[in-house]
Each structure stands twice: as C-alpha cells, then as structure tokens.
Structure 1
Amino acid sequence: MPSLSARLDDFGSALLDPTRAVPDGLVGPDGKPSARRFSVYRNNVVVGLSEALRASFPCVARLVGDEFFAAMARVFVAIKPPTSPILLHYGAEFPSFIESFNPAASVPYLADVARIERAATEAYHARDEIPLAPAALAVIPHNKSPSLRLRLHPSLRIMRSEFPAFTIWRMNTAGGTPGPVDLSESQDTLVLRSDAEVDVRSMSPGSYEFLVALESGLTLSQAMANAFTADAHFDLSENLQELIQMGAFVGFDLSGEEGNDE
C-alpha cells in the first residue's frame, strides 16, 4: 500500500495531467472509479489556476487575447503547479515561461510586460518601511557624502527591456489606449510602493544603473560613476530628489555605521 504522501503526490500529478488515469482508490458514490467526475474536478482546478494568472497578468491577457492566454496558462499550470497554498505567490515564474514559450515568439516584448506586472504585484505586497525624510541627508557633511550607502525600500523593483515594455504596459492597463510603438526603443522601468499605491514609471539608463549600483551596496560616488558611464547627462541631484520624493530610500549607512531612518 503506497504511503499517504505518495498517494497525495499521485493525486496532484493526475490533476494537472489529462493523460493520467483516475488515481487508485479514488471512487464515486457507487464505489467505482469515475473518470468523468475526476475530469470535471481536474478542469475546475486548471481553470481556477488559469484565472489566477489572468488576474495577475491582465495586460498580458489583453495583448494576446483570451483564447491564446487561456491556452498558454494551461501549459504553464501543467508544468509549474503551485508550490504554496497562497495563490499570491503563484505566477512568479510566468514571465520566464512566456520568454521560452514558442507560440509567443511573435510578441517578443510580452515577457517583459509580464515582468512589470509581476513586479507591481510583489511591490504591492512587500513589507512596509518608513521612507527616508529629505532632511536626513541634509545633515551629512559634504566630505562624507561620497561614502554614503543608501538602503532601498523593500518594494522597489527595476527592470530593463530591449523593447518599449513600459509604454506597451501602460497602453494596456485599465483605461489605456493601445497605439503604435517603436519596437527598436529600449526602456527601463521602476516599480515602487512606499505608500498605499504602487507607482510604475519609466526611467533613464543612467537612473537604472544608479539604482542597480545602490542595490548591490555600492557607495553614492560609485553608483554615480556607473550612472555617468551609462548616461553622460545623468543628474545626481535631480535623481536623488525624485527618488526621495517617491520614498525609494529607507535609511543609509555612513562610514560603516547604520544611519537613521528618519
């Protein structure tokens, strides 16, 4: 007799594989295996997971249409079933799946649009922290500013795309109006929720490299150097002001000592 764990694994695998027979020991009211009943239950599970994906990736669904999205979601559900009972976590791998899904190859920007949507979901549910107040940086001596290390808000996400993914995402959000785009244009996107709402906006290559450097723990001067390499017109003061206003920072380290969060 297989263990309970093995039977549950068999049951879960059969739910997502229509070629599998009804698991042993699973019977209907008449005491006999019922392929029809199990098929209905199997379909309900797949449809439920597919609808969870549709709710998380509405722009992707709008771009490819309901029929294509449903077919793509079914394939994903079959090969990437949930590993947690919390459906909030489901779909983290969907953007990478789209990138490798051959039928979606004619929509090369689709995976990057999905990444923006996933980032917005993660940002919305990220933990809260009090953003750094502008006055906190004003008291730092000028000669120590280059060694400053800024700590980013837990909800902050940045994405780079070789396509105008931000523009395409924005045009396909609720109330957006699709229009022509130049697919040769690359775009970087910032996602942040420092308050109740998720803020999604495009950013310059210099700003992207600046945040990548800060995220990796580099100092302000090192991050600025990286930004200038990507964009000779990068404006440190302007970028810092905008990021602080957005609530992108929650603290700082200076000379190896942890800075205030106020």
Structure 2
Amino acid sequence: MTEQHSFRAPLLDADRAIPEGLTDGLGRPAGARYNVYRNNVAVSLTEALETGFPAIAKLIGPDNFRAVAARYLRAAPPTSPLMMHYGAGFPEFLKTVEPLAHLGYLPDVARLELALRRSFHAADHTPADPALLQDVDDDALMSCRMALAPSAHLLRSPWPIVSIWAFNMRPGSAKPQARPEDALILRAEFDPEPLVTPEGGAAFVTALIRGESFGSAMTAAGDSFDVGVMLNLLFTHRAIAGISFEDTP
C-alpha cells in the first residue's frame, strides 16, 4: 500500500484508523486535523450528491439519504476534481441497497436526475430551422436524417419516472399513475425539461439517435405514432441540431 493510498483510503471511511505518522508543519501530531479534513470531505461529497439527486433525497428522507451517501462515498470515491461529475454511478449503486429494494423506481429516477444534470452541462448548439422541411417532397423527407442536440437525452423506464420526479420537485404536480414513462430531456434555453414522450416517440427518437433515416424512424415508431406532435415537441424545444438530405454535399 502506497503512502498516498494509506492517506486517502481512510478519508471516506470513518471506521478506518487515522494514518500513522501524520504531523503538522511544526512536527506535532496531526490526527485531530486529519479528522476535521476527513469530516469536511465527507460533508462536501454528501452535499454534492444531495445537489445532484434532490428528488432521491426527498423520496427517501434526509437521514436515509445521508446513510446511503456514506456507503456510496466508500464504494465510489471521486475520480474528478469537478463535483458536477460526481455521482455518475449512483443510479446503479441504488440497485444494491437492500433496504431500498422495495422502491424499485429509485434507480430510474436517479438516472433521470443524472440526465438532467448532463443536459444542463451539455454543449450549446444552433437549432435547425423547421423551414428546411417546407416544400420537401415525400421521398426527400423519408430519406433525410435529423441530428439531436447534445443536450437531448432519452430514458426508457417501466416506472412513471417523470411523474414521480415532478410530484416531488414541482408543487401542484399530479400524483403519479402506475404506468411506464419514457422520458425525453430537452433544453430549449438554460434549464433542461423532462417530458413524457408520446406513443411511439421513444422508438422514433432512438432511431434518430442511431442515425437512421426519418422514414426508418417513422416505421420504428409504429402505426399509432403522431409525427406532427413529435416534431412540434422537438422543434419547440430546439432539440433538432441539424437536418441532412441525401443529395446534400
């Protein structure tokens, strides 16, 4: 074990002994200072998780969240000095917390919150002009390809994750109904918005993300898909970053 590891390992685990031989600048024992530093690190990382996953903190309560966070800190130390990246593995970690197993929707709600954060920090883009689709014949439309904005994210879930998130984060939101919801996260301006995709919308967006043609995406969406509703949603939220046609150089 390296000296660096022996110093860092106990930082996130209060059950571990303070490293031996620590001294301050005057050569005095620095165990008390290490304890203060250790506490500050744990508090900072817990606060970063609370900031990144506020709906999860509200769903399980502050005491439970801090207990779960303490376990996560030990299992997943930070790999970047940028706290906006901390917690990337938190949704998967929640699946391993046995006392929370009866709340099966928690990992997917955490995935939604993580996607909201990533959308917020995603690169800006210039949205495509919907006028590009005017006066386009059917063959050209079916063969064109649409690129989504870097801030756009799609999450498919068997749980009503958007409704659960909204019920906990937006006063006055309707109580979630027991049904699946596919979440489309779009950022028209500065703040990302989680939206429930219309029927067939998730399959349509998935096909676009894969680089498939507009026609292939329509086929994937199914017969009940309302393409007008979907396009209005995407263009209104400035989610189309580019439209290319086969004859475009």
TM-score normalised to structure 2 length: 0.92
| 1:172–1:178 contact (8 Å) kept in structure 2 | no
Structure 2 gap ranges (5+)? none
Shift of 1:176: 4.8
Deviation string for 1:188-226 (max 9, x for gaps)? 111111312212211134001100110011111111111
Shift of 1:26: 1.7
2:232 to 232, 235, 241: 241
**Distance in 1 separating the partners of 2:69 and 2:199:** 33
Within the alignment, does 1:74 sit opposite 2:86 as a pair?
Answer: no
Alignment-derived partner of residue 194 in structure 2: 200
**Distance in 1 separating the partners of 2:248 and 2:8:** 51
**Distance in 2 separating the partners of 1:165 and 1:210:** 20
The Cα RMSD (Å) is 2.0
Shift of 1:53: 0.5
1:26 to 22, 27, 51: 22
Deviation string for 1:47-97 (max 9, x for gaps)? 110011001111110110000000001111111111110101111111111
- Counterparts of 1:1-262 in structure 2, within 5 Å, are 6-28=2-24, 31-176=27-172, 179=175, 181-183=176-178, 185-228=179-222, 232-255=223-246, 257=248
Shift of 1:22: 2.4
**Distance in 1 separating the partners of 2:135 and 2:227:** 18
Shift of 1:112: 1.1
Structure 1 gap ranges (5+)? none
| Matched length | 249
| 2:199–2:224 contact (8 Å) kept in structure 1 | no
Aligned to 1:187, what secondary structure does the other structure show? coil
Amino acid at match of 2:208: L
Shift of 1:29: 6.4
Amino acid at match of 2:74: A
Aligned to 2:182, what secondary structure does the other structure show? strand
Aligned to 1:172, what secondary structure does the other structure show? helix
Farther off after superposition, 126-135 or 27-36: 27-36
| Identical counterparts, % of pairs | 36
Shift of 1:104: 1.3
Call closer, same or farther: CA 1:176–1:53 in 2, change over 3 Å. farther
Amino acid at match of 2:205: L
Aligned to 1:161, what secondary structure does the other structure show? coil
**Distance in 1 separating the partners of 2:42 and 2:120:** 26
| 2:10–2:18 contact (8 Å) kept in structure 1 | yes
